Amino acid sequence: MKNGNTKASIKIVLLGILLFGISLRLYEIDEPWIGAHDSSGATNGNAAAFFLEYGLGETGPIIVKGVNSADPLSFNYYINHPPLNQIITYGSYILFGKSEASTRIVPIIFSILSIILTYMIAVKIYGPGPSLLVVLFMAINPIESYYGRLPHMFVATKFFVLLTVYLYILWIRTRNRLYYPFIVLTLLLGLFTDWPAYFLPPALLLYHLLVEGKRGIAFPVILNFVAFLAFAAFMLAVMHYTDSYGLHELMRVYEKSEIAKDFSFLSVFWKNGYYILLYYSVGWILLVLAYFCDLLGMKLKPKSTADHRMTREQKGVLLILFIVGTLNIALFPKHSINHEHWMEFYSPFLALLGGFAGSYLYSSGKWRRGLVIILVSLFAAQSLFIYARRQAQHDYFPLTIEMAKSVKNLEVDPVNTVYLTPFLVSNDIFLFYSGSRIIRINNIESIRDLDKKMPGVHFRYISIDSESAREKAGFFSAFSESDLKIWGLYKEGEDPLVKGRFLRKILCINGFYLYSVHLNEQPAY
């Protein structure tokens, strides 16, 4: 009876943690794209809006970033990523209408499903012991709870990677060929969502060799061939719809010399190490280190070691997830430094590793149990603090408040109005508002030519008083000097809001999208 009550209590706690994680993700689900981290929402929402407006039959299965104003069916394509995430968002628009909420609901659903899948993998390879810690980690660490609601490709890709790994574990255990089509399907969905899924087939092959040997090796080899075919299919689509220029552009964007020219791998290592300690918390990393230190001590007592070692299967699953996360950072160093959520694929790896470590230590003695409680409490406190801090930077950054007021007070003409506004968060991170059109503007001459290129379009200028925004209480108290340096808003001896540096223009088409315009003067419209 007591055992039954304990199991029921654990299920209630698990449900409570899951619901709390869901509430973190649903916070401000319908807010405009006005925050420093909202560019992905505007960009991907905009691409989905093109699919909605023109249909996949016209656009083709490639992300569209703009339309030639002279020829509405001449699209400007964004070929840096596969299109499935935007296509799924397009499906959300069909079901729920085009809005910020219907854009965010897609990553939120995938993020919640990833919590559940990581829990299912933990139960499958560990048993129910580490489940509480695994769910807690996936539910509240800021990379998942804050960045997991941003409509970028990684959230959905991570879900498909986890689902493929889970199905692969089931196949390894049962050797049931009925799993074949499901594994291939989930892998393909991941491959057509974003590049990190391409790191999974080689990792599965290595896992198979280490855990299973040559028995059944044909299937993981076939999965690598499937990845090759998926990549070839995407390349053919790019060549077909972009007259081959897109293929050259794709190669240029991801060329090693291009992505790593400003960064040494040592700087990438240190920067991502800092991100791990910040977003995954010092407490969780110490929990993992405490397990390995304890295991090292146990090796001096061979008779006690066997109960605390991981099985080959457990090590293999961790290896798969570690390889995917590490290759994603190693092959795209520039992106991993500029975008902290690039480490997102480490979340399941650290959840499973830390969950096992905490469960083992908790059951190994009174003082270890106390250590686990302290470290997990530290993890929870740091995670919620960082979540709140990131949210505060979004909600209470003074100029963000001014932008929000301006955007919400617009009398939007959905057809023929272009809005210009001075707003910049950093040298390369702009504030966006969702939209159905994008026009790239590189200089003032381009803006002055817009009225010729787009006859009948009216230009309006949104005025934001940076002086009054700067006087808002708490600007320098809410954000440290290091924050301002990270954002590019502060240099020694320089006012972070000086006009020539800070006030650039953002283009908003149809009240829907804001884009960088490099100007130092207000257009005369």
Summarised one tens digit per residue, pLDDT across range 267-290 is 778 888 888 988 999 999 999 999
pLDDT of the residue at 507: 35
What does the pLDDT average to over 125-135? 90
DSSP assignment of 65-99: EEE-TT-TT-EEEE-SS-SHHHHHHHHHHHHH-SS
Residue 405 has pLDDT above 80, yes or no: no
- DSSP helix/strand/coil, 104: helix
Which range of 34-43, 173-182, 439-448 scores highest in mean pLDDT? It is 173-182
Buried b (16+ CB within 10 A) or exposed e, 183-211: bbebbbbbbbbbbbbbbbbbbbbebbeeb
- How far, in Å, are 255, 284, 322, 503 from residue 199 at the CA level? 17, 26, 10, 41
* Order of strands, sheet of 417-422, starting from the edge strand that comes earlier in the sequence: 458-461, 417-422, 505-509, 513-517
Mention every residue, 6+ apart, whose C-beta is less than 8 A from residue 293: none
Residue 93 has pLDDT above 60, yes or no: yes
| Site of tokens 């093109």 | 50
For the chain, first and last CA: distance in Å?
77
What does the pLDDT average to over 304-314? 66
What does the pLDDT average to over 501-520? 31
Buried b (16+ CB within 10 A) or exposed e, 505-520: bbbbbbbbbbbbbebe
Banded pLDDT at 255 (limits 50, 70, 90): low
Phi, psi of 76 (to 5 degrees): -95, 120
Please indicate whether residue 497 or residue 7 has the higher confidence score (pLDDT).
Answer: 7
Summarised one tens digit per residue, pLDDT across range 352-380 is 999 999 998 988 878 889 999 999 999 99
* Cα angle value 329/196/319 (rounded, 5°): 75
Residue 129 has pLDDT above 90, yes or no: no
Among 48-52, 63-67, 392-396, 517-521, the minimum mean pLDDT is found in: 517-521
pLDDT of the residue at 502: 30
Residue 25 has pLDDT above 90, yes or no: yes
DSSP assignment of 174-200: H--TTHHHHHHHHHHHHHTT-GGGGGH
Question: Amino acid identity of 501?
Answer: R
pTM across the whole model: 0.79
Summarised one tens digit per residue, pLDDT across range 410-422 is 554 444 444 444 4
% the chain with pLDDT above 70? 63
Tell how strand 417-422 and strand 458-461 pair up.
parallel
Question: Tokens standing for 479?
Answer: 């954000």
Please indicate whether residue 163 or residue 277 has the higher confidence score (pLDDT).
Answer: 163
Summarised one tens digit per residue, pLDDT across range 483-510 is 334 333 334 444 433 332 332 333 333 3
**Torsion, CA 33, CA 39, CA 40, CA 45, rounded to 10:** 50
Question: Tokens standing for 482?
Answer: 């290091």
What does the pLDDT average to over 318-322? 95
pLDDT of the residue at 407: 52
DSSP assignment of 252-295: HHT-HHHHSTT--HHHHHHHHHHHHHHHS-HHHHHHHHHHHHHH
Please indicate whether residue 296 or residue 27 has the higher confidence score (pLDDT).
Answer: 27
- How far, in Å, are 8, 299, 301, 304 from residue 295 at the CA level? 32, 6, 10, 10
pLDDT of the residue at 68: 54
Distance CA 291, CA 288 (A): 5
* Cα angle value 375/377/379 (rounded, 5°): 70
Distance CA 301, CA 283 (A): 27
Please indicate whether residue 440 or residue 220 has the higher confidence score (pLDDT).
Answer: 220
DSSP letter at 517 equals E
% the chain with pLDDT above 90? 37
Please indicate whether residue 400 or residue 169 has the higher confidence score (pLDDT).
Answer: 169
pLDDT of the residue at 445: 37
Distance CA 75, CA 293 (A): 57
Residue 200 has pLDDT above 60, yes or no: yes
Distance CA 198, CA 190 (A): 8
Summarised one tens digit per residue, pLDDT across range 449-480 is 545 554 554 555 444 444 444 333 233 223 33
What are the extents of the domains in the chain?
Answer: 2-69+76-391, 412-517
pLDDT of the residue at 338: 72
- DSSP helix/strand/coil, 9: helix
Q: Which burial class, exposed, middle or buried, applies to 91 when counting CB atoms under 10 A from its CB (0-12, 13-18, 19+)?
A: middle
Please indicate whether residue 25 or residue 364 has the higher confidence score (pLDDT).
Answer: 25
Residue 446 has pLDDT above 70, yes or no: no
Residue 72 has pLDDT above 60, yes or no: no
Please give the mean pLDDT across all residues of the chain. 74
Among 36-40, 178-182, 240-244, 469-473, the minimum mean pLDDT is found in: 469-473
